[in-house]
């Protein structure tokens, strides 16, 4: 499972910040600057102590799908044949950690185009936090805003072939010949916002499953 805080979108006003008393209680973190402000993420205070600490984390998703499925089909019409293979996964989540780097300004990396729509005033954004280098609220922490639907259906293999007629081949001493075009992963149907919903699925490292 994925374990993290419950994100409730950015604070919109200073009054919301004061009402939530959203100060991280983990004194060991280098980001402990007590500078939470409008535009920072609001996290659910599960234990009700007025602070956001490690005790406010819970299970927020799972990379384990409800089921996987596949579709294989072969067609032939005259001298033309086609084979295709679909593969699908349903009911799993992907933890898109790449977004915590690309959409927050507390780290010196290239950013996603989504930061153009970052919070810059009340009502301007409910998904991307304010730009701030020091990140006192730790908007990069693992939370529900990074958990996405990882279900997908992918055209994994497609091959189209042409079988040359025997009457033509016999003239040059060949009994059988076929030309074909093949492609892999040509189409993917998914709601996942990252590059590949299948990322992180590593049979040799189950701890990495579903983590982008």
Q: What single string gives the DSSP state of each residue in 2-66? A: EEEBPEEEE--SHHHHHHHT-EE--TTSTT------TTSEEE--TT-SSEE-GGG-EEEE-S--S
Contact (CB, 8 A) for 59 and 28: no
pLDDT in tens, 51-98: 788 899 999 999 999 999 999 999 999 999 999 999 999 999 999 988
Give the pLDDT confidence of 88-125 residue by residue, as tens digits. Answer: 999 999 999 888 888 877 666 788 888 888 999 998 88
DSSP 90: E
The H helix count followed by the E strand count for the chain is 3, 12
Q: How far is CA 131 from CA 90, 96, 99, 101, 106, in A?
A: 35, 19, 14, 12, 8
How much is the pTM?
0.80
């Amino acid at each position: 499972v994925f374990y993290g805080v419950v994100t409730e979108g950015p604070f919109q006003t200073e009054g919301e910040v004061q009402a939530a008393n959203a100060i991280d209680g983990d004194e060991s973190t280098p980001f402990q600057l007590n500078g939470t402000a409008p535009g920072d993420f609001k996290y659910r205070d599960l234990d009700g102590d007025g602070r956001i600490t490690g005790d406010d984390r819970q299970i927020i998703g799972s990379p384990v799908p409800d089921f996987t499925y596949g579709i294989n089909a072969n067609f032939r019409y005259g001298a033309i044949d086609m084979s295709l293979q679909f593969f699908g996964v349903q009911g799993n989540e992907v933890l898109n950690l790449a977004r915590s780097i690309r959409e927050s300004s507390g780290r010196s990396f290239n950013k996603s185009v989504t930061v153009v729509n970052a919070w810059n005033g009340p009502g301007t954004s409910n998904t991307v936090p304010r730009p701030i280098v020091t990140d006192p609220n730790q908007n990069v922490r693992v939370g529900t805003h990074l958990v996405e639907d990882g279900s997908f259906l992918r055209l994994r293999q497609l091959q189209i072939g042409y079988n040359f007629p025997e009457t033509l081949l016999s003239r040059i001493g060949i009994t059988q010949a076929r030309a074909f075009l093949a492609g892999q992963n040509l189409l993917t149907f998914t709601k996942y916002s990252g590059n590949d919903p299948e990322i992180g699925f590593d049979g040799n490292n189950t701890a990495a499953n579903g983590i982008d």
